[in-house]
Amino acid sequence: MKTATIQELKQELLALNQPKLLELCLRLAKFKKENKELLTFLLFEAHDEESYINSVKGLIDEGFTELPKANLYLTKKSLRKILRITNRYIKYSGSKMAETSLLIYFCSKMKLSGIPYQKSTVLNNLYETQLKKVTSALAQLHEDLQYDFQLELDEL
């Protein structure tokens, strides 16, 4: 089966009536958890980005409290899981401000957690990669926001 382009999908969706469109959206939401999460964000949380960012920060906090510190292998896996979840929520938002804020928060939590990430090449690379992502997202923000986030970034 050949997948349709975004433009073709848009044209077809414009031609549908509201009940049929509603039925398609619900079917799409039932199909995959990510689709349901994205639809939840768009319907309930997109209007208040600040509370959305705070709720994701709460998830990051929760992940760091459950972090196993005795076993470095499990610590690496858990950090990757926290980062994967964070990136998924960043993708839902699509906002560079949310991306910058959440990645800075992740890096600061990683630094404060007491994990010796400098001694592990994998963890150090993970940390440095997130800092590079923050820097690239920071360049696309307004100057006032850039200054505020740059102060936080300098602390890292």
Q: Which residues of the chain have pLDDT under 50?
A: none
Q: Model's pTM, two decimal places?
A: 0.84
**107-134 pLDDT, tens per residue?**
999 988 888 888 889 989 999 999 899 8
**71-83 pLDDT, tens per residue?**
888 989 999 999 9
> What distance in Å separates the CA atoms of residue 16 and residue 11, rounded to the nearest whole number?
9
Find out whether 138 and 92 touch, Cβ atoms under 8 Å.
Answer: no
> How far, in Å, are 38, 88, 92, 123 from residue 59 at the CA level?
16, 12, 15, 20
Q: Who contacts 141 (Cβ-Cβ below 8 Å, separation ≥6)?
A: 96, 97, 100, 149
Looking at residue 87, its pLDDT comes to: 94
Looking at residue 70, its pLDDT comes to: 81
